[in-house]
Structure 1
């Protein structure tokens, strides 16, 4: 497996452990529809949360969350709409970002309500 894919998987597992420890109820990992994907789909209380995980081994070019640009946000929103329709969800939703930095020292940073749907 390519190094960036291994790094991404490690970051997703670290994010999953972090969210679980915070009480999130994990519904799916890498939920897909067509070419759209949500890294982690979970409930935080009664809120359906769409989580994007960004992992970096260096923060020389910015924090991992800085790489969730407007295009990525739009893709996540489209994926969320498809997921909501598929599940028939009628309640509140939220978009969170988990930044995972694998440098020394490693850290995880959760950004709740990182962006909103249009």
Structure 2
């Protein structure tokens, strides 16, 4: 397994634990649709939130959230529609959040960007 895959899993696990500790209900992790994957799907109260997690081990590739392009957001929108069609969940509203995780040795900094879509 590639080191970047391990890093990505680490970031997703860290974010899932933080969301659960904040009272969110994590409904799905690494859900695969026909054209991609949703990292996390959770309920924040009555709102369905699709969470895209981007993790970087240092500043060499820029801020993690910069990797979420307009094309990626469009794909997330389509995948969210597919997820909703396949699950019996009727949220009051839906949003997409991006969580940027930067790790430096044993420290992780997490930045939660709400409602990017």
TM-score normalised according to structure 2 size: 0.90
Q: Deviations over 1:54-86 (max 9, x none)?
A: 000012332111110111111101100111222
Deviation of 1:107 after TM superposition, in Å, equals: 0.6
Where does structure 1 differ by over 4 angstroms across 4 or more consecutive aligned residues? none
Residue equivalent to 1:12: 12
Look up the SS of the partner of 2:76 in the other structure: helix
Look up the SS of the partner of 1:13 in the other structure: helix
- 8 Å CA contact 1:36–1:78 kept in 2: the answer is no
CA distance in 2, matches of 1:96, 1:66: 13
CA distance in 2, matches of 1:63, 1:22: 24
CA RMSD of aligned residues (A): 1.4
Deviation of 1:90 after TM superposition, in Å, equals: 5.3
Residue correspondences, number? 115
Within 5 Å, which residues of 2 pair with 1:47-66? Answer: 47-66=47-66
Would you say 1:94 and 2:107 are equivalent positions? no
Q: Any gaps of 5 or more consecutive residues in structure 2?
A: none
TM-score normalised according to structure 1 size: 0.89
Q: Any gaps of 5 or more consecutive residues in structure 1?
A: none
